[in-house]
Structure 1
Amino acid sequence: MRHADIRIGISGWVYPPWRGDFYPEGLPHRDELAYASTMFRTIEVNSTFYRLQSPATFGQWFDQTPEDFTFAVKGPRFITHVKRLRDSSAPLANFFASGVLRLGHKLGPILWQLPPNFRFDADLLADFLRRLPRNTTSALRIARQHDDKLRTEPWLKTAGEQPMRHALEIRHQSFLVGDFIALLREADVALVCADSVDWPLVMDATSDFTYCRLHGSKELYRSAYGAKAIDLWAKRAKAWAQGRKPVESRFIGPARDISRRRDVFVFFDNTDKLQAPHDAQGLMERLGQPVRRLTSAA
């Protein structure tokens, strides 16, 4: 039976308040990713949400991280928040031409985060999901359709075909219907299990991997996870990886396909008060994963 991988990480890595705490005093800013990637086997890239990056930047990220490292890359808000998934052909092409494919085998899931006021629209969502590439060959084909709004030279090559995964995060109650889950399963797109203050916490299995974002359930982006909460998320991560139903779970649609082993990605996004690195390491410890201790006294 296939072995499932559990990767625990943080959301972003460029946070000035972390300097001298998570990051050792005097560490050059250019070395922060390299340092963080020695602590965690995956990191979620947030900067791609705000603006397109360049092939040179993606190349630097690749070079600064270990061979077994995996990036999750957040899709542009121009697609999800400005265009609201409409007329997405050119923006998708520009995104995939911007250098994403330069991450090569370190490219993990692409995260698509919908805004809180985005209501479920089955036809619109189905059209968008159909446009998402399922492998790097398809992504390259899409990238070649980029327009003149791409501000850097495009990256139009791959190191070979590999599968591509996508995850969708919802933030509106209108998505809590079975038709939504059916769409995700048909498209093989993972539903993000998002722990937050106001957004739905649901755990339907819709793809071959599980994607969790722990934003801080008491105070968004700020509250820490105590020992009891860390234990709960460790049990859930193990259950997903072993093909079991997670404890204290809530599903939108029928609880199908639970017995399938799944790779698991968990990202701590409670970054505002330096909680994320400590909580991530706490979860790694509960799962019996090797932990490199923080060098600060925090």
Structure 2
Amino acid sequence: MSAYHGSMNTTSPSHPILIGCSGWSYPDWEGVFYPPGLHTSETLSYYADRFPIVEVDSTFYRAPTPGMVRSWYERTPSAFRFALKAPRSITHEKLLKNCEEEVEGFVSSILGLREKLSCVLLQMGYFNRSAFGTQSEFLKVLDTFLTRWPSGQTPLAVEVRNARWINSELASVLTSHGAALTLTEQSWMPTPRQVADQFDPLTGPFAFIRLLGDRQGIERVTTTWDRIVLDRSADLAETADLIQSLSLHAPVFVFANNHYAGHSPETVRQLRRLLALPEPSPPDRPRWTLFD
């Protein structure tokens, strides 16, 4: 395996770094991120004025309707981007096998996002031996799936949650299909930096990083997502260094989850500061509240 030796040479031209949250619809954000009483129909527009990208979790449970996709498109600025999770029927129920109909239905449902569709996230579950006895078995299935995936229409990021399977063999399969390896900061997974120290993590046209944290651990501290409750500054600094290096070679998409430190909008702000990215200047728009 060859380790990734990205450089922090900031004199080289870099690609865009887009940092957003894992979702935008959280009641706990009202009064902290969203103005008190902001109408729910306005939350996406408010979010999109302050972040350049969002990861959509709802599509993991069901494909969006045409009206929903049209609303997302119309309520966001022209430069805004979406990353949508593939439905669990594909990843968790059918385990990437015999799911051509589900793939076709999902992809056709999201094409209305047009240029705002950055990619689809294929978030796999943890595989025990009843699903795949070995990594080799999984990679054969993944290779077949990726061969059929319409990458020309929807670029793909792949997340694997078996820690020992994050290796050059997985990277080789992803590279052969131009699919991005998802790097995660998650309690039982190798960190993005640890992965990059083992092999080149750039397997597709962009880098994809998820700040997920320890769900069970943080929920012993809080289940209210309105403030930072864990100091993750050292972890963020390490990941920021890698993000900067990766951006010299490809665009980087990063998503913060509430479970990472307690309040993902603030995690995004902290990471932006570490990367010296400018704070957005939201336009002065009239807002609807619950009382209008």
TM-score (norm 2): 0.78
**2:210 alignment partner, one of 208, 213, 220:** 213
Partner of 1:132: 149
Aligned partners of 1:224 and 1:279 also within 8 Å: no
Aligned-pair RMSD on alpha carbons? Answer: 2.3
**Aligned residues, how many?**
248
Question: Any idea what the Cα deviations from partners look like across 1:184-213, whole Å, max 9, x if unmatched?
Answer: 110111110011111343342211211000
Determine the C-alpha separation between the residues in 2 that align with 1:27 and 1:211: 31
Matched, 1:268 2:285: no
Instruction: Give 1:30 deviation, angstroms.
Output: 1.0
Counterpart of 2:239, as a letter, is: W
Equivalent residue number for residue 248 of structure 1: none
Q: Report the secondary structure of 2:254's partner residue.
A: strand
In the other structure, the counterpart of 2:240 is 234
Deviation at 1:274, TM superposition (A): 4.5
Q: Is 2:15 the counterpart of 1:9?
A: no
Which string of whole-angstrom CA distances, capped at 9 and with x for unpartnered residues, describes residues 239-290 of structure 1?
1012xxxxxxxxxxxxxxxxxx110001001358752100101111222222
Alignment of 1:127-206 (within 5 A): 127-136=144-153, 164-201=154-191, 202-203=195-196, 204-206=201-203
Is contact 2:123–2:159 with CA below 8 Å preserved after alignment? yes
Q: How does 1:33-72 map to 2 (within 5 A)?
A: 33-72=44-83
1:220 Cα deviation after fit: 6.0
Q: Which residue of 1 aligns with 2:267?
A: 279
Contact 1:134/1:165 (8 A) holds in 2: yes
Higher RCO (CA 8 Å, separation ≥ 6 residues): 2
Query: How far apart in 2 are the matches of 1:17 and 1:86?
Result: 38
**Cα offset for 1:22?**
1.5
Equivalent position SS for 1:10:
strand
Segments of 5+ residues of structure 1 without an aligned counterpart are 137-163, 243-260
Aligned to 1:139: none
> How does the TM-score come out when normalised to structure 1?
0.77
Displacement of 1:224 = 4.0
Q: Distance in 2 between matches of 1:241 and 1:274?
A: 27
- Structure 2: how far apart are the matches of 1:210 and 1:176? 15
Distance 1:195 1:4 in 2: 22
- The residue aligned with 1:149 is none
- In the TM superposition, 1:283-298 aligns within 5 A as 283-292=271-280
- Residue pair 2:186, 2:214 contacting (<8 A) in 1 also: yes
